[in-house]
């Protein structure tokens, strides 16, 4: 109990001193917010950093762009018009060509359409049309589209199903957006319940519509004006009349018209329309992990070498310090690049390399410190009383070395964090299923952040790297001042 | 210790270092997962004789120490094999890019060393004032910024947004062909400006505090007190007396900054598509071009070790303890 209380008291004493360092507190606050981000990542953002694509338009600005650049206040957010819901709930309408042959009902928000050919001799076309309107008051988007997810069952051989989608602009101009013939294997896909996703930026669609193959052309043309747009989705059933009574059942789970936003989320989107804020949040995990793991192993190694060299002295000391000199002058980054890209191994390899190449500098300091401790009279006294080497090392030397080690821990982490970022930026030691801040910057560089002036893609990752490194530096210096008053800096 | 022994010792040390690096390189590429020739054997269905012939052709049938010997011989003749990507000899590719890297790293190291000393002395002489704390904080902040990100910011805002600087490469591409060598140089320097600025700023940032502390250490020494007592102007005390006494650690710092600068150049060149070794490294990594990586690694290590050796020589020249013997 006594032991515990003194430990608690020492911690409280330490905190009292630490509290006085303004920069130390600032560093701790920054570090804690990153730790919070890393731990609670899934609660901070609903998306996946890599898998959730097409959350908005590609390279969408942050949501708040209008606040700093009023000329961009008119950019559209994501707009989703649920066709079925709008058509049934009176804001739009649903037109059935022949109500005796086509029955519709709604179940769990899905629209079920049943088409019957009671005698099997009827031929001709029947159709169902969903109409809805929406108000559009923004600048043109980069892309818009429809997504359709249905299920077709019944005597599918006796019918031909076609779908099309038209749009009427506020000035009355009719624009054809899509028909099922444009989507390869439409019937097969709707039978097997696959999502059909049509995008105005798709080269195939542009080709089918006879439009120039520029990704943004169609969206700009359609949304060239603001006002009330009318959407018309038509399903056309052609009865083949094969002679036997037949029945077709189409379930529309989900049918949406989507304007992909040009502003989205806290930090916008990347070229695949993934959320950048999500990537930042999950990236914190990698940087923290690498920073902490690498500095723990590095400082562990340097303490080990420093204590052995300092305590043993003589030939061992000489050999270890020569070796340390050698490791210190090895060109670190090129060596890491070559080893990690040749041998692979991902983050573990990076941590390993950082510690193998990084221990030398601080092991020299620790050795010097151990040398001075060794000569202290209380160590001499302990030795005179017959204490063994292990007892002296664990009882006297390690406890006095630890303060230096703690400060070194915090001071080595920034180096580890920036080096990891540099390596992932160069594409070394990458794991395709993890996205780190360095890799975000690599993607930004190679996938056109500059051409589109996507500052929201370039600034946040680097800023986070810098802030996290800075927090460790601030903490390290404060620890150094408190724990090693003799080494106090000016 | 005379000058001769010093030079000999440093030379021996550098040569040993080169051998260690080279051997590491050899080991790394032998440790590579997968068999280097298994790919070939799998790709083309080979008879045992063909396999044997291929192994003989590449020298892979010989004992490992003989392979090592051949590897060393080739390396020091600057024969690094064919690039997996372009099928050009790697040494030619490196030779085309090396001058650009030397230009970038050389100018940055020199500029950052000068800046570090000037700013360090200046801020030490203004100790405790607002300027001092601003410079020290800026230095701490710059020290935690990744070099390549700083370069990306410069590229984004100064080159792409404002159009003040070129965004790509080392010279303006072909339609623009300056006949006049001065115009060519100017064009080159204009392209060099941003990568140089990025690299210099970051390398300088971290060192300023160290120089400042060196100066502060010196300022409390007896000779400064004597000099001040003699009525020598403060400027002369700083830039003559103090400077002379901090020369040695400055050379050591410069030597350390070379390695950092080379590391920084690898990413900075990638940012600015600067046609140098760093950019080549990036391309080789993305294309798994192992012979190229091996060659680049060797040349960069050689570069770092040689420049460290030069710094050692300057150190020896400046240090009277080396010049006149004794400890």
Q: What is the DSSP string of B170-223?
A: SS--TTS---SHHHHHHHHHHHHHHHHHHHHHHHHHHHHHHHHHHHHHHHTSHH
User: Do B148 and A453 touch, CB atoms closer than 8 A?
Assistant: no
Tokens in use for A157? Answer: 């051989």
- Alpha-carbon gap, residue B171 to B46, rounded angstroms: 47
The answer, yes or no, to whether residue B20 has pLDDT greater than 80, is yes
Here the contacts of B237-240 (C-beta below 8 Å, separation 24 or greater) are: B238/B121, B238/B125, B239/B121
Strands (E), A44-123: 79-82, 93-96, 102-107, 110-117
Q: How far is B259 from chain A (nearest CA, A)?
A: 6
pLDDT score for B37: 59
Q: Which two tokens stand for residue A266?
A: 């806290």
Which residues of A touch chain B, with CB atoms under 8 Å apart?
Answer: 326, 329-335, 337-339, 341-344, 414, 418, 421-422, 425-428, 438, 441, 444-445, 449-451, 453, 455, 458-459, 461-462, 465-467, 469-470, 473-474, 489-490
Q: At what angle do helices B181-219 and B147-154 cross, to 10 degrees?
A: 130
Q: For position B55, what pLDDT does the model report?
A: 74
Regions of chain A with pLDDT less than 50: 1-2, 487-490
Q: Do A331 and B259 touch (CB under 8 A)?
A: yes
Question: Which of A21, A22, A23, A342 should be substituted to probe chain B, the one whose Cβ sees the most B Cβ atoms within 10 Å?
Answer: A342
Q: Which residues pair with A146 in a beta bridge?
A: A198, A257
* CB within 8 Å of chain A, chain B residues 42-71: none
CB under 8 Å to A212, separation ≥6 — which residues? Answer: A206
Residue B326 has pLDDT above 80, yes or no: no
How far is Cα B74 from Cα A224, in angstroms, rounded to an integer?
A: 65
Smallest Cα–Cα separation from A356: which of A338, A336, A342, A341? A336
CA distance, residue A418 to nearest chain B CA (Å): 6
> Residue A395 gets which letter from DSSP?
I
**Chain A: closest CA distance from residue B255 (Å):** 10
Cα B318 from chain centre: 23
User: What pLDDT is stored for residue B111 in this prediction?
Assistant: 94
* C-beta atoms surrounding A445 within 10 Å: 22
Mean pLDDT of B268-284: 91
CA distance B295 to chain A (A): 10
| The model's pTM | 0.88
Cβ of B144 and A418 within 8 Å?
A: yes
Interatomic CA distance for residues A300 and A390, integer angstroms:
17
Residue A488 has a pLDDT of: 43
CA A89 to chain centre: 37
- pLDDT averaged over every residue in chain B: 85
The pLDDT value given to residue A489:
43
Structure tokens at B166: 């070129």
Q: Name which residue leads in pLDDT, B108 or A1.
A: B108
Q: Round to whole Å and give the CA distance between A434 and A445.
A: 18
**Structure confidence by residue, pLDDT tens digits, B287-312:** 878 888 888 988 988 888 888 888 88
Q: Does the beta-carbon distance from A426 to B160 stay under 8 Å?
A: no
> Which of A59, A283, A334 would you mutate first to test chain B, the one with the most B CBs within 10 A?
A334
Asked whether A489 and B213 are in contact (CB, 8 A), the reply is: yes
Instruction: Tell me phi and psi for residue A40, to 5 degrees.
Output: -100, 25
Torsion sign, CA atoms A14, A19, A24, A26? positive
Select from B24, B28, B156 the Cβ nearest to the Cβ of A343: B28
Radius of gyration of chain B (CA): 25
R_g of chain A, CA atoms, integer Å = 33
The yes-or-no verdict on residue B45 having pLDDT over 70 is no
Decide if B148 touches A, using CB distance below 8 A.
yes
- Å between B304 CA and nearest CA of chain A: 7
Residue of A235, A252, A251 lying closest to A154 (CA atoms) = A251
**CA of residue A17 relative to chain centroid, distance:** 38
Distance CA A196, CA A104 (A): 22
Residues 6+ apart with CB under 8 A from B288: A341, B84
Is B21 in CB contact (< 8 Å) with chain A?
yes
Distance spanning both ends of chain A, measured CA to CA: 40
Residue B214 has pLDDT above 70, yes or no: yes
Contact A179, A162 (CB under 8 A): yes
Residue of B284, B285, B291 to mutate when probing chain A, most A C-beta within 10 A: B285
Q: What's residue B33's pLDDT?
A: 64
Binned at pLDDT 50, 70 and 90, residue B54 comes out as confident
Q: What is the pLDDT of residue B327?
A: 44
Strand pairing partners for A247?
A116
Q: What angle do CA A140, A142, A148 make, to 5 degrees?
A: 105
Instruction: Answer left, alpha or beta for residue A148, where phi above 0 means left and psi between -120 and 50 means alpha.
Output: beta
Provide the angle, in degrees to the nearest 10, between the axes of the packed helices A22-39 and A276-312: 120
pLDDT exceeds cutoff 70 at B323: no
**What distance in Å separates the CA atoms of residue A141 and residue A123, rounded to the nearest whole number?**
43
């Amino acid at each position: 109990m006594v032991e515990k209380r003194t430990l608690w008291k020492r911690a409280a004493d330490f905190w009292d001193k630490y509290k006085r360092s303004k920069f130390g507190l600032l560093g701790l606050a920054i570090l804690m917010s990153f730790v919070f981000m890393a731990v609670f990542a899934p609660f901070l953002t609903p998306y996946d950093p890599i898998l959730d694509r097409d959350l908005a338009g590609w390279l969408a600005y942050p949501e708040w762009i209008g606040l700093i650049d009023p000329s961009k206040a008119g950019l559209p957010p994501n707009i989703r018009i649920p066709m079925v819901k709008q058509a049934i709930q009176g804001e739009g309408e649903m037109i059935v060509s022949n109500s005796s042959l086509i029955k519709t009902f709604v179940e769990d928000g899905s629209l079920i359409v049943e088409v019957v050919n009671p005698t099997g001799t009827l031929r001709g076309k029947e159709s169902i049309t969903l109409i809805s309107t929406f108000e559009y008051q923004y600048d043109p988007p980069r892309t818009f589209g429809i997504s359709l997810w249905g299920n077709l069952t019944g005597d599918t051989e006796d019918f031909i199903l076609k779908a099309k989608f038209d749009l009427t602009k506020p000035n009355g101009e009719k624009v054809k957006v899509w028909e099922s013939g444009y989507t390869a294997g439409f019937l097969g896909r709707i039978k097997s319940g696959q999502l059909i996703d049509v995008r105005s930026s798709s080269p195939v669609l542009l080709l089918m519509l006879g439009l120039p193959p520029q990704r943004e052309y169609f969206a700009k043309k359609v949304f060239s004006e603001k006002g009330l747009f009318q959407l018309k989705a038509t399903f056309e059933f052609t009865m083949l009349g094969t002679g036997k009574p037949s029945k077709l059942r189409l379930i529309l789970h989900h049918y949406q018209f989507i304007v992909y936003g040009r502003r989205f989320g806290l930090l916008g989107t990347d070229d695949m329309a993934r959320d950048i804020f999500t990537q930042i949040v999950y990236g914190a995990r990698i940087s923290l992990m690498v920073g902490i793991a690498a500095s723990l192993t590095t400082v562990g190694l340097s303490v080990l070498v420093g204590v052995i060299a300092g305590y043993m002295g003589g030939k061992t000391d000489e050999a270890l310090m020569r070796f340390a000199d050698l490791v210190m002058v090895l060109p670190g980054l090129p060596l890491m690049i070559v080893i990690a890209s040749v041998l692979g191994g991902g983050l573990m390899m990076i941590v390993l390399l950082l510690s193998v190449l990084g221990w030398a500098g601080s092991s020299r300091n620790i050795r010097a410190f151990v040398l001075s401790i060794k000569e202290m009279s209380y160590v001499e006294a302990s030795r005179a009383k017959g204490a063994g080497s292990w007892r002296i090392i664990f009882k006297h030397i390690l406890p006095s070395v630890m303060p230096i080690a703690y400060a070194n821990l915090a001071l080595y982490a920034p180096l580890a964090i920036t080096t990891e970022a540099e390596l992932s930026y160069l594409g070394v030691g990458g794991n395709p299923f993890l996205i780190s801040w360095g890799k975000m910057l690599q993607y930004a560089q190679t996938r056109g952040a500059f051409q589109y002036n996507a500052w929201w893609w370039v600034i946040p990752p680097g800023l986070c790297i810098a802030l996290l490194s800075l927090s460790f530096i601030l903490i390290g210096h404060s620890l150094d001042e408190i724990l090693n008053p003799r080494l106090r800096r000016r | 210790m005379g000058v001769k022994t010093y030079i000999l010792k440093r030379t021996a040390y550098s040569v040993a270092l080169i051998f260690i690096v080279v051997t590491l390189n050899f080991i790394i590429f032998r440790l590579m997962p997968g068999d280097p020739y298994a790919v070939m054997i799998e790709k083309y269905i080979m008879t045992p004789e063909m396999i044997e012939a291929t192994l003989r052709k590449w020298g892979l049938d010989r004992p490992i120490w003989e392979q090592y010997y051949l590897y060393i011989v080739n390396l020091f003749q600057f024969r690094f094999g064919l690039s997996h990507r372009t099928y050009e000899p790697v040494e030619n590719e490196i030779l085309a890019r090396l001058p650009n890297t030397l230009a970038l790293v050389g100018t940055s190291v020199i500029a950052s060393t000068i800046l570090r000393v000037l700013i360090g002395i200046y801020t030490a002489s203004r100790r405790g004032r607002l300027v001092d704390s601003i410079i020290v904080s800026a230095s701490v902040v710059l020290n935690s910024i990744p070099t390549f990100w700083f370069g990306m910011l410069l590229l984004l805002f100064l080159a792409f947004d404002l159009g003040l600087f070129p965004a790509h490469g080392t010279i303006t591409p072909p339609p623009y062909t300056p006949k006049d060598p001065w115009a060519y140089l100017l064009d080159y320097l204009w392209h060099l400006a941003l990568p140089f600025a990025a690299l210099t700023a970051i390398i300088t940032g971290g060192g300023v505090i160290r120089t400042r502390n060196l100066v502060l250490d010196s300022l409390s020494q007896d000779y400064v007190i004597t000099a001040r007592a003699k009525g020598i102007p403060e400027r002369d005390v700083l830039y003559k007396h103090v400077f002379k006494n901090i020369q040695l650690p400055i050379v050591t710092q410069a030597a350390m900054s070379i390695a950092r600068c080379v590391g920084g150049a690898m990413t900075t060149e990638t940012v600015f598509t600067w046609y140098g070794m760093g950019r080549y490294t990036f391309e080789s990594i993305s294309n798994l071009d192992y012979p190229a990586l091996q060659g680049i690694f060797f040349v960069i290590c050689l570069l770092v070790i040689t420049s460290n050796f030069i710094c050692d020589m300057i150190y020896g020249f400046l240090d009277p303890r080396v010049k006149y013997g004794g400890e």
